[in-house]
Amino acid sequence: MDELRTKYLDAIAAAADETALEELRVQAVGKKGEVSLKMRELGKMTPEERQVAGPALNALKNEINSALAAKKVALADAALDARLATEWLDVTLPARNRRVGTIHPISQVTEEVTAIFADMGFAVAEGPQIETDWYNFDALNIPGHHPARAEMDTFYTHRADGDNRPPHVLRTHTSPVQIRSMEKTGAPIRIICPGRVYRADYDQTHTPMFHQVEGLALGKDISMANLKWVLEEFFSAFFGTDVKTRFRASHFPFTEPSAEVDIQCSWEGGTVKVGEGDDWLEVLGSGMVHPNVLKAGGIDPDEYQGFAFGMGIDRLAMLKYGIPDLRAFFDSDLRWLRHYGFASLDQPTLHGGLNR
């Protein structure tokens, strides 16, 4: 037994790797290993002999197993030490260049518009993109039979068979937020609402999802003159140059009187320039809020009056930054985003200048 002990403990101590160690384990304590065979001989011994040899063999087996385990750990440690000695990382190397993302022109223009109107005392209001037909139409003085419903290319949600309630719609304009805001705060009120709107339309200047900004100002004596000043102030700040406006009589169910507003522009050289020349470009709808709309919002039309307007944010972005095709706005093409996008730390502010 002493011979066996010396033989295996020496061999284990000298083993060069895990394979050698495994071979030694099989030879010594495997099923047909030397120690195991010796244990089988216990059966042929007398009880007295067995009492001495049994525990001694067990102790030997345990000793060899412990030596094997300890050597295994030592080999792994040595391997790790060797790797640590050869593999290393130069943490002083300069980092690999990564491209920084950009702010989408829609987000940029929304921030610009918000900054300008905030300066004139307008707060930002929001509403849901999935609307009831009450908020999107009826409350805005557009009853069921009104042609404006058909003209808006509305997306309707699905109702289960037998459910005869009118379907919800994807809001076709930001005007329903007028009603929601009136309900929430009552008059007086001064808000803008930038947001997504939806219509089933698709060509170079139309996408099924686009963006509008709604404006609403109600008070005891707010007039059309205030509307004109606010809009001229806005366009001049937005385009960074004095912009003349032209009000054309028009019709919207939710305003009376109603006006479409054009801004001064030139088409010289095939590109449009805002704030110069003798041409006009239509950019928004507006008017004095219809008494029926005030009533729908819970406001007394004999006490309060005011103006509202709605314009396309995407359109403003195309005009200001010379972007020709609206569809590209929503293609998520990285080349386009890098070209037309804005630096993320370059927040638009009035004092910092909105133009670049």
CB nearer to ligand DAH: pick between 239 and 252: 252
Nearest approach in angstroms of CB 111 to ligand DAH is 21
Per CB under 6 A, does 239 bind ligand DAH? no
Q: Kindly state the tokens that stand for 117.
A: 């109107």
CB nearer to ligand DAH: pick between 60 and 308: 308
CB nearer to ligand DAH: pick between 287 and 348: 287
Between CA 79 and CA 153 the distance in angstroms is: 71
> Near ligand DAH by CB under 6 A, which window of 100-108, 161-169, 248-256, 295-303?
248-256
Question: Which of 261, 308, 313, 319 lies at the binding interface for ligand DAH (CB under 6 A)?
Answer: 308
Query: 135 and 181 in contact (C-beta within 8 Å)?
Result: no
Per CB under 6 A, does 176 bind ligand DAH? no
CB nearer to ligand DAH: pick between 304 and 309: 309
Beta bridge partners of 226: none
CB nearer to ligand DAH: pick between 102 and 154: 154
Name the DSSP class of 200.
S
Per CB under 6 A, does 253 bind ligand DAH? no
Can you say whether residue 121 is alpha, beta or left, with left for phi > 0 and alpha for psi between -120 and 50 degrees?
left
Backbone φ and ψ of 291, nearest 5°: -55, -35
Between CA 154 and CA 170 the distance in angstroms is: 7
Per CB under 6 A, does 245 bind ligand DAH? no
Between CA 195 and CA 171 the distance in angstroms is: 10
Nearest approach in angstroms of CB 160 to ligand DAH is 30
Question: Which of 8, 235, 238, 309 lies at the binding interface for ligand DAH (CB under 6 A)?
Answer: 309
Per CB under 6 A, does 175 bind ligand DAH? yes
Between CA 51 and CA 46 the distance in angstroms is: 9
Per CB under 6 A, does 304 bind ligand DAH? no
CA distances from 202 to 77, 324, 344 (A): 67, 15, 30
DSSP one-letter string for 11-31: HHHH--SHHHHHHHHHHHHST
Q: Kindly state the tokens that stand for 145.
A: 């039979």
Per CB under 6 A, does 290 bind ligand DAH? no
Q: Given the DSSP bridges, would you call strands 123-124 and 189-198 parallel, antiparallel or unpaired?
A: parallel
The residues in 211-230 that bind ligand DAH, with binding defined as CB under 6 A, are: 214
> Near ligand DAH by CB under 6 A, which window of 67-75, 249-257, 295-303, 337-345?
249-257
Question: Which of 105, 127, 194, 287 lies at the binding interface for ligand DAH (CB under 6 A)?
Answer: 287
Query: 193 and 126 in contact (C-beta within 8 Å)?
Result: yes
Between CA 203 and CA 194 the distance in angstroms is: 23
Per CB under 6 A, does 252 bind ligand DAH? yes
Per CB under 6 A, does 173 bind ligand DAH? yes
Per CB under 6 A, does 320 bind ligand DAH? no
Q: Which amino acid is at 331?
A: D
Residues at the site binding ligand DAH, with contacts judged by CB under 6 A: 173, 175, 214, 252, 254-255, 285-287, 308-310
